[in-house]
């Protein structure tokens, strides 16, 4: 338990650190996430998920963004899962879309169970095709992502039926062509596992984007940050393979 408290305290400190160092105060928006998951089981290692997401620039107003995505997963063993995913991402402004992105990604997820504390390490490589409607132009980009997600059940030792839990994560986004450190995403939330099928999370997410330093006409523009706070509501429903044994323990991780 001491290890669990130390890790959670460290992650909490990381959240405070990023909040204190953000150069631009964030405004509040909303993320709504609905996910349907078919996790792998002991006998049947194939799984997958589909997800719909919407975002707004203000609290419960100014809708501007949506995602429709899914993936096919395979459990290498109980703690290692690989996934191939794809999706469509749209950014909108009146009267219509201003940017549409098609994305493909490959990822590896490693789970660790340390007494009550559960850790998830997620590594992702993305290929992105972007279409800018206003400019009638396209672009291709790649990106690397790493997320460390910690879960701590509050009223039980494992996350099972009727379990309240804390979830904290930090995710970094790296661009091979620069700026190398492109984005940072910090999340802290409270969740409730109603049953083996249904869980809900309500949390705070701060997303910071970083612009590359530039030298123009002898003037150096330093690294700058734009950050935004968001209220996140996530609902996840898990299906089950027929006549199969579920994994002994899993984490209610958001696939996003």
Give the domain extent around 165: 2-21+28-238
| pLDDT band per the 50, 70, 90 thresholds, residue 160 | very high
Task: Give the three-class secondary structure for 167.
Answer: strand
Reply yes or no on whether the pLDDT at 4 is more than 50: no
pLDDT at residue 24, rounded to an integer: 38
Reply yes or no on whether the pLDDT at 35 is more than 80: yes
Closest CA to 175 of 142, 210, 212: 142
CB 7 within 8 A of CB 225: no
CA contacts within 13 A on the Cβ side of 99: 13
Residue 49 to residue 35: CA distance in whole angstroms: 7
Number of domains making up the chain: 1
| pLDDT band per the 50, 70, 90 thresholds, residue 129 | very high
The pLDDT tens digits for 199-256 are: 999 999 999 998 765 555 555 444 567 899 999 999 999 999 888 887 778 899 988 8
Who wins on pLDDT, 29 or 78?
A: 29
Residue 249 lies in a domain: no
Tell me the average pLDDT across 149-165: 96
Residue 246 lies in a domain: no
Residue 254 lies in a domain: no
Residue 255 lies in a domain: no
Cα separations in angstroms, 112 against 9, 40, 42: 18, 17, 17
Residues 6+ apart with CB under 8 A from 189: 166, 167, 168, 201, 202, 203, 204, 232, 234
Q: Is 218 left (phi over 0), alpha (psi -120 to 50) or beta?
A: left
pLDDT at residue 10, rounded to an integer: 45
Residue 231 lies in a domain: yes
pLDDT at residue 199, rounded to an integer: 97
What's the chain's average pLDDT? 86
| pLDDT band per the 50, 70, 90 thresholds, residue 163 | very high
Least confident of 5-9, 124-128, 141-145, 241-245: 5-9
Residue 88 lies in a domain: yes
pLDDT at residue 223, rounded to an integer: 54
The pLDDT tens digits for 62-118 are: 899 999 999 999 999 989 999 999 999 999 887 777 899 999 999 999 999 998 999
Residues 6+ apart with CB under 8 A from 23: 224, 225, 227
Name the residue with tokens 């999370």. 201
Name the residue with tokens 């910090």. 186
CATH number at residue 175: 2.40.160
CA torsion sign, 74 to 172 to 66 to 150? positive
């Amino acid at each position: 338990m001491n290890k669990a408290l130390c890790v959670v305290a460290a992650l909490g400190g990381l959240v405070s650190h990023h909040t204190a160092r953000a150069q631009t105060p964030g405004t509040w928006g909303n993320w709504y996430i609905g996910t349907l998951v078919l996790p792998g089981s002991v006998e049947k290692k194939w799984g997958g998920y589909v997800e719909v997401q919407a975002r707004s620039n203000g609290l419960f107003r100014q809708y501007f963004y949506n995602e429709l995505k899914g993936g096919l997963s395979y459990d290498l063993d109980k703690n290692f899962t690989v996934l191939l995913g794809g999706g469509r991402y749209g950014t909108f402004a009146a009267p219509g879309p201003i940017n549409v992105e098609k994305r493909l990604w490959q990822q590896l997820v490693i789970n660790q169970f340390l007494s009550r504390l559960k850790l998830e390490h997620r590594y992702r490589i993305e290929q992105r095709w972007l279409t800018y409607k206003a400019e009638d132009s396209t672009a291709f980009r790649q990106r690397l992502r790493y997320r460390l997600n910690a879960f701590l059940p509050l009223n039980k030792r494992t996350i099972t039926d009727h379990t309240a839990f804390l979830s904290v994560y930090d995710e970094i986004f790296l661009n091979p062509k620069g700026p190398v450190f492109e984005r940072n995403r910090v999340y802290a939330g409270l969740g409730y596992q109603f049953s083996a099928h249904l869980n809900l999370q309500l949390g705070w997410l701060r997303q910071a984007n970083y612009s590359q330093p530039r030298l123009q006409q002898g003037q150096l523009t330093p690294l700058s940050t734009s950050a935004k706070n968001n209220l996140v509501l996530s609902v996840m429903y898990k299906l089950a393979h027929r006549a199969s044994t579920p994994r002994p323990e899993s984490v209610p991780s958001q696939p996003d």
